Amino acid sequence: MEYIEAKEKFISTWGSLGSLWGINKAMAQIQALLFISTKPLSMEDIMHDLKISRGNTSMNLRQLMDWGIVTKVLVSGERKEFFTTEKDVQELARIVAKERSRREIKPVIKVLEEVSSIKDDGTEKTKELIIQTKALKDLTDDLDTLMNKLVNQKQNWLTKSVLKLMK
Amino acid sequence: MEYIEAKEKFISTWGSLGSLWGINKAMAQIQALLFISTKPLSMEDIMHDLKISRGNTSMNLRQLMDWGIVTKVLVSGERKEFFTTEKDVQELARIVAKERSRREIKPVIKVLEEVSSIKDDGTEKTKELIIQTKALKDLTDDLDTLMNKLVNQKQNWLTKSVLKLMK
DNA sequence: TTAAACTTTCAATAATTATTGAAATTTTGT
DNA sequence: ACAAAATTTCAATAATTATTGAAAGTTTAA
């Protein structure tokens, strides 16, 4: 497999995987492109390389910056803006985990809390609703806590955690 | 909040959260409905309750059964089929984690492996592609291993793991 | 201050994904 | 073996989501 084929394979796989870590295809592809680039890229570079429109590039770059995954860099002597992504995979995972917790998990926990604390009217179905949503709330809470714990251990958190659980 | 409102809130929240755990809205809503039901439900019950078509109900029930989340139960004296879902949240999490690993994560690891093992032609961009996809492969591998480790500890795995990591 | 370079916005459109519903198929009781 | 009951299939359609591209807006160099 040659460079160009490998590059395309990586970008398209990462793009279609976007849903797994909660972002859309174009966003994931832009991030992938920056991730394997040896230098910062301009909007022009990105739109030509990925064959997507200027508008699309602009919107998705902004989203990536909102997530904190991509940052603008100034290239001296250049008028246009250049972009780069976090290159350390562990730091990347940390950012993604934090954002998903904040954007998706925390709000769900809140709803589960509300639902599980309705008044028990004594009927079987109400009891079941309360019991089950409470259990789901506790599980989600635990998973969220675990994820944030993992992710806040800076140095080699993953390897350390895996080792801990293995023994 | 009354039962009916709480029930609807739970089902719609869980439904829109489907994407978080990798299934579609109808699938997630059917699972949610079964999850808080005190007894197995028929296809008829489900389609009326969620106001979705017979075809949709049938297809999504089959998918839930493929995932191993929902099972058919025989109700004596009844001709039609009844369905129920796994009621234990930890077991549910275990099933979901296993399936996502198998369906999504493992295939990605395979691609990353292929891409990261292309021939190093000495150019800087090829070196970068190899380094970065290798790092991503290692991370994904570690996360997958960690997830499966967590999920294979039957009794109270989550609480135990969280405690372990906290100290 | 001006105009070229660059970026953003957003209504229109395209692409994708989910849902319907009726016909075909399968299952079951008699 | 038959027909009623139940389920599945799938082409058509609807709903959702992503993308375009051109106009509007912003920045910068001279």
DSSP conformation letters of A20-55: GGT--HHHHHHHHHHHT-SS-EEHHHHHHHHT--HH
Chain A: residue nearest B5 by CA?
A115
Residues B102-111: b if buried by 16+ CB within 10 A, e if exposed: eebbeebbeb
Which among A146, A152, A112 is positioned nearest to A129, based on CA atoms? A112
Residue B118 is nearest to which of A1, A121, A159, comparing CB atoms? Answer: A1
Q: Is the pLDDT assigned to residue A9 strictly greater than 70?
A: yes
Task: Kindly report, residue by residue over B46-91, the tens digit of the pLDDT.
Answer: 999 999 999 999 999 999 999 999 999 999 999 999 999 999 999 9
CA dihedral B14, A139, B35, B47 (to 10 degrees): 10
Q: Which residues of A touch B112 (CB under 8 A)?
A: 10, 13
Contact at CB, A37 and B128, closer than 8 angstroms: yes
For residue B133, the chain A residues in CB contact (below 8 A) are 6, 10, 36
User: Other CB atoms closer than 10 Å to residue B113's CB: what's the count?
Assistant: 14
How far is Cα B145 from Cα B123, in angstroms, rounded to an integer?
Answer: 33
Q: Are A83 and A72 in contact (CB under 8 A)?
A: yes
pLDDT greater at residue A18 or residue B136? B136
Q: Phi-psi category of B14—alpha, beta or left, where left has phi over 0 and alpha has psi -120 to 50?
A: alpha
Binning pLDDT at 50, 70 and 90, where does residue B146 land? confident
Distance CA A85, CA A63 (A): 12
CA nearest to B29, candidates B45, B43, B14, B42? B14
